[in-house]
Structure 1
Amino acid sequence: MGAVYLVRHGQASFGAEDYDRLSERGAEQAALAGAELRRREVTFSQARTGSLSRQVKTAEIALAGLDSAPAVKEDPRWNEYDHVAIAEHHAGGADQVGADPRAYQAVLDAALTSWVEAGDGSPCAETWPAFLARVRGALEDVVATLGKGEHAVVFTSGGVIAAACGALMGTPEAGLLKLNRVTVNAGITKLVSGRGGLTLLSFNEHPHFEADAAKLLTYR
């Protein structure tokens, strides 16, 4: 039975002009995720990442810790939803630069709900149905290229992971709006592929952020 490991990127630079840059803590988180993958002794036949800087850098750091890792293939379908556009069109243009993280998250949660409810009628360049379709397509393509017993690792974002897991449980909207809130930076989600199709085996694993590493646990 093959598996797809979805790894959320490390902490980005919230509040900065360049949000997409991996923070110093994010780099530490990425290294811990790599150490956790190495501990599991999983051999990956392929590795994917979105094209966002925080995703690419997380992949680079995490895979450097493995004894052997495949070349990483970038696929922008693994990119996160455009939170700036969603906030602009569904939250009156709320700006994250210099904002309080918790206050901004509350605004973004409400904006995401509005974005999902708007469906194809959203003024955003990418609507919720379009986002969900590209996430499903990216996941289906990875699964289709796996041979018997092969494993893939994908470095992506919380919203993508939440939507994919929600879709596997039959509730993609609830997945995005509820699971997205609790995904930890550099957490690991495991999907298994077998005769019955793709199944969610574990979500948001983060034992690598326990004990002495607990101080590195972040959600945003």
Structure 2
Amino acid sequence: MIEKFVFEGFEEDELDLVKLVTASVTTTIFKNIGLPTLRSQCIHIVRDCSKEAPMYVSNCGYEKIIVNSKHAFYWQYAYQISHELGHLSTSSWKRHPRTDGHMWIEEALCECHSLIALQEMSKITGPLQVGAIDYCSILDEKHNDVEVAPEWFSQNKTALSQATSLTKEAFYMSRYIKKSVPADSILRDNRLINQLTVGLSFNEYLTEWQNLSGDEVSVPKALMMLALE
């Protein structure tokens, strides 16, 4: 699907499984929606453990993802690379830095990419399956102690709109979206963000998004349900 990845900062003894993980999550994310228009023929994946957090690099002229997963922590790598591929899928570099209060939506959806990719990996017999099952179990126990409902959303909407990274509130929203919307629709609706107008109000943004999506069950519709007063 992608002709070439360039891996930097990985050790030789882990590279085969890193490549296998990358192929697995890439297939899960892009098999039905294809790739967006890329800034380069290669996607550079760099491990730099000095970085505080993984990132999809927006301010360069080619596709670059930085991870900080530990040596041979393949499922941590899967979690990180899936999230950043979510940003790549929707060409987030076009909106960076985003200042319209909707960045939390992209972050929550990219968290969903990680959950979806690892869940799919856990179903496939092979060297990645057992570890993926264990990692999914760990993730399932996190950020599930809050029931996201209209009242909760109303109380936390300001905090969400101020978020520029994956905050606690955005984690909760990712779990809500994952439970409310089929995986294929999440991946497709995330891609549609690159067509949306930046700077709209929340309700205008969801309306434009839903008009593009057209699905009866979709991410914008799920968010509309929370915004009802």
Q: What TM-score, normalized by structure 2, do the two folds share? A: 0.30
Tell me which of the two structures has the higher relative contact order, counting C-alpha pairs closer than 8 angstroms and 6 or more residues apart.
Answer: 1
Higher strand fraction: Structure 1 or Structure 2?
A: 1
Using structure 1 for the length normalisation, give the TM-score: 0.31
Which structure: greater helix fraction? 2
